[in-house]
């Protein structure tokens, strides 16, 4: 019988939640990396026992952890004793250095409109390769994309993105100027999508060497030019592997859809009670069924009227229905962050999301009913699920 | 070292290091990172070697965080009578 393994990153460590295919009785292990912020953890689709973790701290900086046995043991790759070619000990796993030779370090726009130097802060998102368990991408703050080909021992920037030339117009969102979304196209290994708050979405068609902004159709009222090519606060992008050209986006405000790999976007917020939010995902087997967790507003990061709701559209947007059975419908004032929603691959497609109140919810029936797996974790930053044989 | 650095390095208490003369903060940190490479970047920047802002260095109850890291350390540290302390700043309420 199939199993699922849920990887939850929180403000104070990582947790692993496992269950069989019924997704009813759960085993919870953790905290791993206790006391550290775990922004994201994700398993390799090639080797599910290979899990990469972004462990970070304002005091001690960035650590990358890795498990090769499904989360039973962990190590910081490259963090052990090694010798450099010169014979000196070295450690490389946590070294994220912008490639200033290939793309000179510029400045970006600060909150007050002045220019501010580019500085590495943390890894927001790890995206393992679809074809090679040793290869993984990292989206970082200040915004850039890095790549490791050796299982996270060493990291190299893909400098074409930061060197795109529009960097001085990029600006931080409330959470910082982060590259938070990386989507790999299963049909085209050269095609990568990324999103930055607040610069917008970009696409590479050559494996990350060069990038183009894909923000046509986005409108942002906070921008002097609402239709600007750069500067939109994209919160998350989701894609069905069954229909890679179709993208769904939760923007700061507005839920958007593209049918041409991001070249053009149109709004599909439809009857949503509010189209602000962070998380969005697509059903594993129905590429026109999508899920969002509406949040009241950019000033009030909690559900409308204290009612926690996931909204589902079976029509690829515009027509939405509230999925609330089993979710608190009074006095609930949590947030659902951008990387905190995911779907499993089982036939009836489980949907998962975590909250800043420390709950992780599971719907084993595509959103119809919900149950909390855990209620009292630290604030949940990210949720990923692995479907295992 | 703070709890989280001890966890990373997988040590439980004080760390004793052999450091060549003249013994300075830079040389002690070089030796510490050589023995525990996972600490590279966690105390000071990988490349600039600048101290991370929320960490402080205390030598014989004095804050050395803002002194030149090339300043020779006192005999009490060299002999092991006093520890060189790496301390996490109290921040966050």
ipTM: 0.90
CB interface of B with A, residues 17-76, below 8 Å: 33-35, 37-43, 46-47, 52, 54-55
pLDDT at A98: 93
Residues of B in contact with A78 (CB under 8 A): 37
What pLDDT does A222 receive? 84
Q: Give the A:B interface size as CB pairs under 8 Å.
A: 65
Tell whether A123 is within 8 A of chain B (Cβ): no
- Residue B8: its chain A contacts at CB < 8 A? 60, 63, 76, 79
In chain B, what residues touch A35 (CB-CB under 8 Å)?
A: 3-4
Task: Provide the 3-class DSSP secondary structure of residue A167.
Answer: helix
Predicted local distance difference test score (pLDDT) of residue A193? 98
- Enumerate residues 6+ apart whose C-beta is below 8 A from B7: none
**Domain span at B40:** 3-88
Calpha distance A236→A178 (Å, rounded): 12
Residue B55 lies in a domain: yes
Name the closest residue on chain A to residue B46, using Cα atoms.
Answer: A95
- Residue ranges of E strands in A47-205: 51-57, 61-67, 107-109, 115-117, 122-128, 136-141, 144-148, 156-157, 178-184, 192-197, 200-204
Residue scoring higher pLDDT (B29 or A174)? B29
Nearest CA in chain B to A81: B37
Closest CA to A362 of A339, A380, A344, A386: A344
Long-range CB contact pairs, B48-52, < 8 A, 24+: B52/A59, B52/A60, B52/A61
Mean pLDDT by 10 residues, chain A (389 residues): 94 98 97 97 98 95 96 87 54 82 90 91 97 98 97 95 91 92 97 96 98 96 87 96 96 97 98 98 98 97 97 98 98 98 97 98 98 98 97
Question: Among residues A23, A121, A59, which one has the least CA distance to residue A347?
Answer: A23
Question: Given CB atoms, is A93 within the 8 Å cutoff of chain B?
Answer: yes
Name the domain count of chain B: 1
How many Cβ atoms are within 10 Å of A339's Cβ, its own excluded? 25
* Segments in chain A forming alpha helices (H): 159-162
Q: B81: domain CATH number?
A: 3.10.20.30
C-alpha to C-alpha distance for A203 and A261, rounded to whole angstroms: 8
Residue B19 falls within a domain, yes or no?
Answer: yes
Nearest CA among A372, A294, A322 for reference residue A6: A372
Mean pLDDT value across residues B69-75: 96
Is residue B33 in some structural domain? yes
Say if CB A354 and CB A383 are below 8 A apart.
yes
**Is B25 inside a domain boundary?**
yes
Of B4, B55, B91, the CB nearest to A35: B4
In a domain, B93, yes or no: no
Is any Cβ of chain B less than 8 angstroms from the Cβ of A146? no
Note whether B78 contacts A: Cβ–Cβ < 8 A.
Answer: no
């Amino acid at each position: 019988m199939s199993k699922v393994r849920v990887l939850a990153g929180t403000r104070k460590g990582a947790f692993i939640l496992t269950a069989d295919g019924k997704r009813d009785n759960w085993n919870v292990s953790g905290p791993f990396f206790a006391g550290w912020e775990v922004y994201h953890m994700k398993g390799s689709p090639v080797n599910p026992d290979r899990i990469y973790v972004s462990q970070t701290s304002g005091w001690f900086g960035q650590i990358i952890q890795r498990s090769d046995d499904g989360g039973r043991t962990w190590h910081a790759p490259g963090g052990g004793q090694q010798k450099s070619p010169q014979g000196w000990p070295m450690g490389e796993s946590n070294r994220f250095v912008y490639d200033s030779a290939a793309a000179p370090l510029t400045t970006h726009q600060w909150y007050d409109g002045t220019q501010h130097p580019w500085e590495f802060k943390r890894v927001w998102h790890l995206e393992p390769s679809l074809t090679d368990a040793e290869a993984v991408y990292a989206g970082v703050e200040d915004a850039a994309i890095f790549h490791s080909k050796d299982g996270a021992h060493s990291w190299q920037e893909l400098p074409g993105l930061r060197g795109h030339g529009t960097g001085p117009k990029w600006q931080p969102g409330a959470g910082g100027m982060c590259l938070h979304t990386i989507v790999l196209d299963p049909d085209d290994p050269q095609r990568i999508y990324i999103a930055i708050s607040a610069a917008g979405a970009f696409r590479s068609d050559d494996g990350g060497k060069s990038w183009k902004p894909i923000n046509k159709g986005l409108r942002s009222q906070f921008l002097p030019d609402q239709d600007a090519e750069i500067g939109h606060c994209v919160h998350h992008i989701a894609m069905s592997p069954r229909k890679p050209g179709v993208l769904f986006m939760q923007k700061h405000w507005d839920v958007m859809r593209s049918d041409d790999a991001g070249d053009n976007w149109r709004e599909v917020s439809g009857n949503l009670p509010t189209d602000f939010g962070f998380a969005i995902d697509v059903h594993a087997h129905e590429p026109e069924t999508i899920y969002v967790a509406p949040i009241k507003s950019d000033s009030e990061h909690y559900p409308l009227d204290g009612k926690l709701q996931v909204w589902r559209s079976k029509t690829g947007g515009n027509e939405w229905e509230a999925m609330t059975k089993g979710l608190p419908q009074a006095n609930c004032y949590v947030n659902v962050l951008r990387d905190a929603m995911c779907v499993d691959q089982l036939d009836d497609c489980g949907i998962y999301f975590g909250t800043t109140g420390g709950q992780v919810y599971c719907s084993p029936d595509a959103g119809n009913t919900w149950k909390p797996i855990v209620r009292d974790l630290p604030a949940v930053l990210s949720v990923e699920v692995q479907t295992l044989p | 070292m703070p709890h989280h650095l001890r966890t990373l390095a997988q040590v439980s208490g004080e760390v004793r290091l052999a450091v060549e003369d003249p013994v300075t903060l830079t040389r002690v940190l070089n030796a510490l990172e050589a023995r525990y490479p996972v600490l590279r970047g966690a105390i000071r920047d990988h490349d600039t070697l600048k101290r991370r802002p929320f960490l402080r260095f205390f030598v014989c109850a004095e804050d050395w965080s803002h002194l030149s890291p090339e300043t020779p350390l006192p005999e009490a540290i060299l002999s092991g009578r006093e520890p060189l302390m790496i301390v996490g700043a109290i921040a966050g309420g």
